[in-house]
């Protein structure tokens, strides 16, 4: 009896945690969407008169060595990073889920083929391939996203497949088959809803990793092409004069760490909630 | 008798895994070769540009024939593959030195960095995660959960820039350019180790806790076996296979991370070499880098799998 009650409290607490951190993440996304309206200056306007000014009322985060407003660039960078991450996570999520469910539901040759390809992509070191591909394609955000996405879908495929296999033999699927539903209908209305939660949880935990990957490639000069603002490339640009203008490094660094921590925490919170609910 | 059967199964498993490595190696080599063709522009032109030679049409044409670019794609691939099997990965566009030699020069220094940071991470994360798992929700556990979460959330380039700022520029304890000195090794190793330690503590802790919650642990405890014996002989032994797999998988991240860290600290390993080569458009070096890293990753994956099966023979026999 005691255990049941305590588990209910745990679920309640875990749910509250998800709401709080979820709201904070939504706030970050809103900031990224309205970056243009929020930034006090144009992030790309340079000025020879305003080089490396310390933080002031006019420029709350100071200026960089081109006289650009660091706050405006951090805000613009939020747009770049969050937009790129969302696109990458969403696309790999859809591709991985579709392949995983097909593989699990139909089995046979399709299963063997898809799983072989998945293993193949997992067999190579992701970041090494990403650096080489982005480097040889000549940089740019698109190349970086392709390079990172090439391996990112495999995780979803594996999870989708294993969950499909576990619900495939349930009675309600057999009932749906007897009722004459087609394969795609069963997948869309019965299998997908039952595998979605673990997949979304996985997607949430991937956001932080993806952000680290994108900013890492940009830091190396293989992601976003300057002057487009991105936190990794801003840190790389301004680390050369970190003694003269530490603010130009510290604020984008802070933004990176806070954003990644928020999204990682969201992933953890949702995972804990799922664990608590499953134990019930 | 069962030992004999186990030995046979093991042998069979090793052979099976070695055979399964062959198609992966072939695809890896094909992909590496394809990288050169993926690069925009004509290789002969890029080679001449990398050497700073003025390009006319005749010069490019002569260079194309000399490089064998007039031959069909598959012919070139197999020629390159057989060269690679003999340790010949072609020559650098920039200075004409063999790619293999260049990579081997850097590999030692990169291994120095990677092995040091892996060992440091394991030395910290194994005892910490054991204490965290045994004393769940204690102050120690909570403190390290926060720390490992933070470590896992900070990109390694950020850690190294901040460490450099604090220790090299503000306090002047370590040299800014790592050079080859021992003190130069310190900051790059820490930068690589912090995110890895954070990840290890989280994963090891979860693995040990899941072992502690197993029914057989309760059974052994009920028979009155001492807690330390349970912990070391049963729980940790069972978790060891997973821990080695986790450590083996982290090698991929480590290889990517070393490119970033070596570039920042000017550490003359294979990672800095590949970044310099990307900047100079010296693509054969990049190609060789992918091939060598891929082969190493595959071999390490195989070795960790074999260790896993040796520690826990059930995995292969049951599946």
- pLDDT at residue A248 tops 60: yes
Q: Is B298 on the interface with A (CB under 8 A)?
A: yes
Chain B, 262 to 281: residues with Cβ < 8 Å from chain A are 263, 274-275, 278-279
Q: Do A136 and B152 make contact, defined as CB atoms within 8 angstroms?
A: no
List residues of chain A with CB under 8 Å from any CB of chain B: 120, 123-133, 135-138, 208, 212, 215-216, 219-222, 232, 235-236, 239, 242-243, 246, 249, 253, 256-257, 260-261, 264-265, 268
Instruction: Quote the pLDDT of residue B318.
Output: 46
Which token pair is A149? Answer: 């996405």
pLDDT above 70: percentage of residues in chain A = 98
Rounded CA-CA distance A125/A89 in Å is 19
Mutant choice from A77, A124, A274 vs B, greatest count of B C-beta within 10 A? A124
Instruction: Quote the pLDDT of residue B3.
Output: 56
Instruction: Quote the pLDDT of residue A92.
Output: 95
Distance from CA of A206 to the nearest CA of B (A): 12
Average pLDDT, chain A: 87
- pLDDT at residue A1 tops 60: no
Q: In this predicted model, which residue has the larger pLDDT, A225 or B108?
A: B108
Q: In this predicted model, which residue has the larger pLDDT, B168 or A88?
A: A88
Mutant choice from A17, A136, A235, A251 vs B, greatest count of B C-beta within 10 A? A136
**Chain A residue closest in CA terms to B202:** A268
Helix (H) or strand (E) holding B85: helix B73-85
CA-based R_g, chain B, Å: 24
Residue found by looking up tokens 């503590």 in the block: B201
Distance from CA of A188 to the nearest CA of B (A): 31
Instruction: Quote the pLDDT of residue B206.
Output: 92
Q: In this predicted model, which residue has the larger pLDDT, B176 or A108?
A: A108
CA angle B276, B279, B282 (to 5 degrees): 80
Strand partners, B272: none
Instruction: Quote the pLDDT of residue B5.
Output: 61
Q: Do A260 and B154 make contact, defined as CB atoms within 8 angstroms?
A: yes
Contacts of B180 (CB under 8 A, 6+ apart): B109, B268
Q: Name the residue facing B286 among A120, A135, A257 (closest C-beta).
A: A135
Instruction: Quote the pLDDT of residue B65.
Output: 77
Do B48 and B59 form a contact (C-beta atoms < 8 A)?
Answer: yes
| Per-residue pLDDT tens listing for chain B (319 residues) | 455 666 677 788 888 888 888 988 999 899 888 887 777 777 777 777 777 777 777 777 777 777 777 778 888 888 889 988 888 888 888 888 898 999 998 899 999 999 999 999 999 999 999 999 999 889 999 999 999 999 989 998 999 998 888 887 777 777 766 666 777 888 899 999 999 999 999 999 999 999 898 888 889 889 988 888 888 888 888 888 889 989 988 888 898 899 999 998 888 899 999 999 988 888 889 999 999 999 999 999 889 888 888 887 666 554 4
- HSE of A69 in the Cβ direction (CA atoms, 13 Å)? 18
Q: In this predicted model, which residue has the larger pLDDT, A60 or B292?
A: B292
Q: Do B161 and A253 make contact, defined as CB atoms within 8 angstroms?
A: yes
Q: What is the mean pLDDT of the segment spanning A116-125?
A: 85
Rounded CA-CA distance B114/B127 in Å is 21
Closest CA to B202 of A251, A112, A205, A99: A205
pLDDT tens sequence across A173-219: 888 888 888 888 888 888 888 888 889 988 998 899 899 999 999 99
Judging contacts by C-beta atoms under 8 Å, the chain B residues touching residue A239 are 161, 164
Instruction: Quote the pLDDT of residue B179.
Output: 63
Task: Give the Cβ contact number of residue A118 at 10 Å.
Answer: 22
Which token pair is B40? Answer: 């925009």
What size, in residues, is chain B? 319
């Amino acid at each position: 009896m005691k255990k049941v009650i305590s588990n209910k409290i745990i679920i309640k607490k875990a749910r509250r945690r998800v709401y709080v951190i979820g709201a904070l993440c939504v706030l970050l996304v809103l900031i990224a969407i309205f970056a243009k309206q929020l930034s006090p200056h144009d992030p790309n306007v340079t000025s020879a008169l305003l080089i490396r000014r310390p933080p002031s009322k006019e420029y709350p985060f100071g200026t960089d060595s081109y006289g650009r407003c660091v706050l405006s660039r951090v805000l613009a960078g939020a747009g770049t990073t969050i937009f790129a991450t969302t696109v990458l996570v969403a696309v790999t999520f859809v591709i991985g889920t579709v392949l995983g469910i097909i593989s699990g539901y139909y089995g046979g040759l399709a299963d063997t083929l898809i799983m072989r390809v998945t293993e193949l992509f997992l067999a190579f070191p992701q970041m090494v391939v990403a650096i080489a591909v982005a480097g040889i394609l000549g940089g740019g955000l698109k190349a970086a996203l392709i390079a990172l996405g090439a391996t990112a879908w495999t995780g979803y495929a594996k999870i989708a497949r294993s969950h499909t296999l576990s619900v495939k033999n349930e009675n309600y699927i057999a009932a749906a088959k007897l009722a004459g539903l087609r394969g795609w209908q069963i997948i869309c209305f019965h299998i997908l809803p039952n595998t979605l939660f673990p997949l979304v949880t996985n997607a949430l935990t991937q956001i932080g990793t993806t952000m680290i990957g994108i900013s890492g490639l940009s830091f190396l000069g293989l992601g976003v092409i300057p002057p487009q603002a991105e936190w990794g490339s801003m840190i790389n640009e301004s680390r050369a004069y970190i003694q003269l203008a530490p603010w130009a490094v510290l604020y984008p660094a802070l933004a990176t760490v806070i954003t990644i921590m928020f999204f990682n925490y969201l992933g953890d919170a949702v995972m804990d909630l799922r664990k608590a609910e499953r134990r019930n | 008798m069962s030992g004999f059967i186990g030995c046979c199964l093991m042998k069979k498993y090793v052979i099976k895994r070695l055979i399964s490595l062959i198609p992966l190696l072939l695809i890896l080599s094909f992909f590496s070769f394809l990288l050169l063709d993926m690069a925009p522009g004509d290789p002969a032109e890029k080679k001449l540009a990398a050497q700073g030679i003025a390009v006319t049409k005749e010069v490019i044409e002569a260079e194309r024939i000399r490089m064998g670019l007039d031959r069909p794609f598959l012919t070139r691939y197999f020629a390159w593959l057989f060269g690679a099997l003999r340790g010949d990965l072609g020559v650098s566009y920039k200075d004409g030195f063999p790619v293999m030699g260049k990579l081997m020069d850097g590999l030692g220094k990169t291994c120095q960095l990677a092995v040091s940071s892996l060992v440091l991470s394991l030395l910290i994360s194994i005892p910490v995660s054991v204490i965290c798992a045994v004393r769940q929700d204690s102050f120690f556990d909570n403190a390290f959960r926060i720390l490992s979460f933070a470590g896992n959330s900070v990109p390694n380039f950020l850690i190294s820039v901040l460490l450099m700022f604090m220790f090299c520029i503000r306090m002047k304890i370590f040299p800014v350019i790592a050079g080859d000195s021992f003190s130069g090794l310190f900051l790059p190793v820490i930068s690589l180790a912090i995110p890895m330690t954070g990840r290890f503590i989280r994963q090891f802790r979860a693995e040990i806790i899941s072992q502690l919650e197993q029914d057989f642990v309760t059974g052994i405890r009920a028979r009155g076996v001492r807690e330390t014996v349970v912990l070391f002989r049963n729980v940790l032994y069972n978790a060891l296979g997973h821990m080695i797999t986790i450590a083996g998988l982290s090698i991929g991240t480590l290889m990517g991370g070393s490119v970033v860290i070596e570039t920042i600290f000017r550490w003359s390993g294979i990672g800095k070499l590949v970044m310099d080569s990307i900047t100079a458009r010296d693509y054969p070096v990049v190609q060789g880098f992918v091939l060598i890293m891929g082969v190493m990753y595959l071999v390490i994956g195989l070795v960790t799998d074999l260790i896993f099966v040796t520690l826990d023979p059930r995995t292969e026999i049951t599946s």
